Amino acid sequence: MIAKVVSVARWEYVEKVKSKAFLIGLFLTPVIMIGMGVVPTLLITQADTRTKIIGVIDPSGVVAQPLADLLQARYRLPDGSPNYILRPLTAGTSVDLEASAAEADRQTGAGDIEGYCLLGRSPEADTAIEYRSKSVGDIQLVENLQQALRIVLSERKGLSMGLDTSVIRALNVKLDMKQIKLSKTGEREDSSFLQVFFRAYVFLFMLFLLIVTSGQLLVRSILEEKSNRIVEVLVSSCSSTELMAGKVLGLSALGFTQIGFWALMGTIASLTFGIEFVTPGIAALLILYFVLGYLFYAAVFIGAGSPLTTEQEAQQVTSYLVMILVLPIALAFPAMQNPDATWLRVLTFIPLLTPTMMALRIPIQMPSTWEILATILLMLVSIFFAMIAAGRIFRIAILSTGKSPKIAEIFRWAREG
């Protein structure tokens, strides 16, 4: 009995582990995750390593110099050299703006300068300023430039109002606002909105891809066995219970390989970059939900997949399940704005959504202990019944060919066996 279950499990595991779909999922998923989540945040917040040259067209002729001085004084690279150098592209009042801008455009296009700043004619009145560059994504540069300009312009304004330079300096407060995330127990975590957002997304996507990849592999292999009647040989060699147990076992091994590999990569990445993406406790809890969700969906895929007879139907059914799985992704934003909302809790207690909802909620705000315990229990019970129902459907469905059975018929199999 056990020997045959192991034989089936071994086959399912070894053959699928070698499949392209699995290998792509295994390696590509973390790459996509990193690409989606980590890299942009890293790039945005990372300090420059080289001096950037910014052009400036200053029709008034009085702003460029103080601005250059201020930038030079304020922003330094780690090696001590200036972070920004301001290159005046014209000076004086009698400027041909059109020609200057054309020249600045050319230099920007050639990559000589990062971009350039187009100032107004009168620094006191004209505060409509433009910054033109090839990429508008350099948030850090734009913000620094803006701050420096504000200081210079308000200094000029202050001076014209007869204020003392020291007073003006004192009025220019440099702001540095940091976001701190608080957990329920009041512990502080140093993370921004973006980080939390990406963290929630990353786990949700990983769980989603994990389930979809292996679910599709499973349905496709059952279809193959049905369509070329290998299933007859299988069912004459071992009972359908042994066959399904073997498939679930093999598939689980496959999923755990994937989870284990990703966890390993995550650990290595966080050790090398020195970032603690999530605490080990949260990681362990997430992995638990991954495992529970995976097993539950394995039963769902067997129950929904084994009655099918054509590839098109399989795609249809898979896409319905995908829709259910991605639902929490659509809810990520509102969930972050209001992590305590009742509707979030309610959705969490629908077994098809429990794992993904938890993968979404845990990185945002740890749900209360009773919710965690209750959902784990809910999942265990759901897995138990889903497996029994899937087994009943599987036993009848794998031998049926020709037209796919009606949904009512499938439910009858699940109930009666």
Contact 115, 54 (CB under 8 A): yes
CB proximity list for 372: less than 8 A, separation 6 or greater: 285, 358
Interface with other proteins, residue 227, by CB under 8 A: yes
Out of 99, 167, 233, 350, the residue judged to bind other proteins by CB under 8 A: 233
Return the amino acid letter for 215: G
Kindly state the tokens that stand for 234.
């299988």
Out of 40, 229, 276, 350, the residue judged to bind other proteins by CB under 8 A: 229
d(CA 313, CA 393): 17
Q: Can you say how many angstroms the Cα of residue 41 is from the centroid of all Cα atoms in its chain?
A: 11
Out of 129, 168, 327, 399, the residue judged to bind other proteins by CB under 8 A: 399
| Residues numbered 297-326 forming contacts with other proteins, rule: CB under 8 A | none
Size of the site for other proteins (CB under 8 A): 23
Per CB under 8 A, the segment of 91-99, 155-163, 236-244, 352-360 that binds other proteins is 236-244
d(CA 57, CA 119): 6
Interface with other proteins, residue 235, by CB under 8 A: yes
Per CB under 8 A, the segment of 210-218, 229-237, 293-301, 303-311 that binds other proteins is 229-237
Residue-by-residue DSSP string for 365-384: SPPPHHHHHHHHHHHHHHHH
Interface with other proteins, residue 237, by CB under 8 A: yes
Out of 217, 234, 314, 366, the residue judged to bind other proteins by CB under 8 A: 234
Residue with tokens 């009041």: 186
Residue with tokens 């009042």: 93
Out of 64, 238, 285, 358, the residue judged to bind other proteins by CB under 8 A: 238
d(CA 364, CA 338): 10
Q: How far is the CB of 220 from other proteins (least distance, A)?
A: 10
Residue 13 or 198: the one with the smaller Cβ distance to other proteins is 13
Residue 241 or 279: the one with the smaller Cβ distance to other proteins is 241
> Torsions phi, psi of 53, nearest 5?
-100, 125
d(CA 18, CA 15): 5
Q: How far is the CB of 310 from other proteins (least distance, A)?
A: 16
In three-state secondary structure terms, 311 is helix
Q: How far is the CB of 357 from other proteins (least distance, A)?
A: 36
Map residues 324-363 to x or -, x wherever contact with other proteins holds by CB under 8 A: ----------------------------------------
Residue 16 or 52: the one with the smaller Cβ distance to other proteins is 16
Angle of helix 20-33 versus helix 193-227 axis, rounded to 10: 170
Q: Can you say how many angstroms the Cα of residue 178 is from the centroid of all Cα atoms in its chain?
A: 22
Q: How far is the CB of 10 from other proteins (least distance, A)?
A: 8
Out of 11, 256, 261, 411, the residue judged to bind other proteins by CB under 8 A: 11
Residue 226 or 361: the one with the smaller Cβ distance to other proteins is 226
Residue with tokens 């993904």: 356
Interface with other proteins, residue 15, by CB under 8 A: yes
d(CA 196, CA 182): 12
Q: How far is the CB of 23 from other proteins (least distance, A)?
A: 13
Return the amino acid letter for 123: P
Contact 334, 224 (CB under 8 A): no
Interface with other proteins, residue 241, by CB under 8 A: no
Per CB under 8 A, the segment of 34-42, 121-129, 232-240, 339-347 that binds other proteins is 232-240
CB proximity list for 49: less than 8 A, separation 6 or greater: 77, 78
Map residues 206-225 to x or -, x wherever contact with other proteins holds by CB under 8 A: ------------------x-
Out of 46, 49, 94, 228, the residue judged to bind other proteins by CB under 8 A: 228
Residue 156 or 247: the one with the smaller Cβ distance to other proteins is 247
CB proximity list for 292: less than 8 A, separation 6 or greater: 354, 355, 376, 379, 380, 383
State the residues that interact with other proteins by CB under 8 A. Answer: 1, 3-4, 7-8, 11, 14-15, 19, 224, 227-230, 232-239, 399
